[in-house]
Amino acid sequence: MFKRKDKKMSCEENRELISSFIDAELSPAEKEMLEKHLGVCTKCRTLEEWLRCVKEGISRSAERVTIPGSLRDKIMKSLPEIPVRLDPVPWWKRLFVLLLLFCLSVSPAFSWGPEGHEYINKSAALKAPVEVAGFPSFFQSRESIEIITYNGLEPDRWKISPGYTRGKGHGLAHYINLDLVQDLPAARDHIIAIQMYQEKGLDGRDMGLLPYYIIETYEKLRISFSEYREFVRRGSSTKPVEVNILYYAGLLGHYVGDGSQPLHTTAHHHGWVGENHKSYSMDEGIHKRFEVEFVRNVKAGDFLELLHTPTHLCDPFSEIIAYLKKTHSYMEKVYALDKAGAFSEPTPESLQFVRERLAAASQMLLNLWYTAWLESERPDREKVVREALKTTEKIC
């Protein structure tokens, strides 16, 4: 059993304590299973805090974890008794539990993983066009960048949270199956899109709803920008609406980020299915191997030079569809690189590929932020867009 220590624990000390428990209490088979599903990569502050996180993570995710009940009971009995706190759990503890759940579960569409989504949102925020067309300067404050980066993970927090009403159903928001159909419903409402899928004889659960969640979140951001403009006109404090803007800007980054990951646009999202003439991997681990483990070889600043001044999108929804189709065109390249071992041992080609995919997401996010800002000006929208584009021609 662990001994209590009320001091700050280093990662190495935590590892030693965990290892001693594994060696003393578990059989070889149980040890292998625990290491596989729990890992020992925590960065908690004290042993007591770490133990509480683990206990919550195990007990709250019982239905999702494939660890046998007998082993789970042994783990729980071997941990010291820690009273349940009545005060709100700090944000970092909630985040740890969710990341633990990520390690314990496999979702058909978990997306880029924490690092990828953070890189995408942070890079876009650093390149926000604050000197163009009156784009809000608060976007590039340190606090705003942190908020936008944090909100880039929010949809995944919902999706993996135990007890969330929609649960796996929200996974459809992170995915679109372009193998089944290229001519997607033109409706911008995901409920109508599902109805149109059904009219085509397609099951919305097989198709996914990613483009519809992107456009819906874009529209919410545009409306918040309109509110911001109105607050400025009235001379009112813009702080309340800034909160909404940063929330939707970060949320939009998540869905746009999912749209740059080729395995989020195909039925082959967790291993090749069906005919396999090129002997591509059928291992479901390819998804995590690419978007989580391999992405850790790059950093947010590694692809900033690939970003350029944002572009105004005349028809955002059509551009979103084109963006997703472009992403889908790289689907087989993911499998080819994996087959060559380029995700296990990074190569210049595989590193550049992941940088370009992350940069594509940041660039599309910038374009949508910029477009939402320009389109938020009513009724002088055409004048604002024309001035921003420095043209006298009729704009779209």
Give, rounded to a whole angstrom, the gap between the first and last alpha carbons of the chain: 68
Determine the distance from the C-alpha atom of residue 277 to the mean position of all C-alpha atoms in its chain, rounded to a whole number.
Answer: 32
Residues 90, 125, single domain; the answer is no
The last residue of one of the domains, among 95, 127, 159, is 95
Residues 34, 123, single domain; the answer is no
Place of tokens 């590929």: 353
Do 34 and 71 touch, CB atoms closer than 8 A?
A: yes
Residues 91, 114, single domain; the answer is no
Q: Which residues of the chain have pLDDT under 50?
A: 1-9, 11, 37, 39-67, 80-109
Do 332 and 224 touch, CB atoms closer than 8 A?
A: no
pLDDT of residue 222: 97
pLDDT of residue 14: 53
**Residues 320-378: tens digit of each pLDDT:** 999 999 999 999 999 999 999 999 999 999 999 999 999 999 999 999 999 999 999 86
Do 168 and 257 touch, CB atoms closer than 8 A?
A: no
Residues 355, 220, single domain; the answer is yes
Domain count across the chain: 2
Residues 170, 90, single domain; the answer is no
Nearest residue to 9 (alpha-carbon basis) of 45, 53, 52: 45
Q: Is residue 100 part of a domain?
A: no
**Residues 109-146: tens digit of each pLDDT:** 456 778 899 999 999 999 999 988 899 999 999 999 99
Query: For residue 29, what are the domain limits?
Result: 11-95
